[in-house]
Structure 1
Amino acid sequence: MWHTVHPSRSWERPGGIVTYPQRRLREEVGYVAYHFHWPRDDILGLPHHERLCWVREINRINTRLNSER
C-alpha cells in the first residue's frame, strides 16, 4: 500500500520519502465524498487513519443496507 520514492542518484542509499499512492487516495476521497457529501478539502484534511475509519464505516453501512434487501 505504501510506496517509497527513491533518490535519483544510484550512489545514495535506498530509502527516501514514503508516500500514499495517489490512486488510492482519490478512491478514498471519492468514496467518502459520494456517500457523505463532504467537501474534498475537508476529507483530505483528515488524518489518514481517520479517513480509513470513515471508509470502513461507510462500507459497513452499505453492507448492512444491502443485506436487508
Structure 2
Amino acid sequence: MREEMAFIAYHFHWGPAELMTLEHADRRQWCRSISEINRTLDGTPPNPFDNL
C-alpha cells in the first residue's frame, strides 16, 4: 500500500488524505495508468505480459 501511495503521490502530488480515501483497486488502477503514461512518454513498447 505504501509503495502504491508513494508512486501516486510522486506523480500526481496527491496528499495522504486523498490517497487514503481510495479503495485498493482504485489505487492499483491509478498505478497502472501512470505506468502506461510513463511508458508512452518514454517510447517503451507495451509489455505483452501485463494483462496475464
- When normalised by structure 2's length, the TM-score is 0.77
Q: Name which of 13, 18, 21 aligns with 1:45.
A: 21
* RMSD (Å), alpha carbons: 1.2
- In structure 1, stretches of 5+ residues that fail to align are 1-24
- In structure 2, stretches of 5+ residues that fail to align are 45-52
Q: Tell me how far 1:47 sits from its aligned partner.
A: 0.7
How many residues align? The count is 44
- Structure 1 runs of 4+ aligned residues shifted over 2 Å read none
**In structure 1, C-alpha distance between the alignment counterparts of 2:20 and 2:32, rounded to whole Å:** 16
Identity within the alignment, %: 41
Considering only CA atoms, is the larger Rg found in Structure 1 or Structure 2? 1
Kindly indicate whether structure 1 or structure 2 has the higher relative contact order, using CA contacts under 8 Å at least 6 residues apart: 2
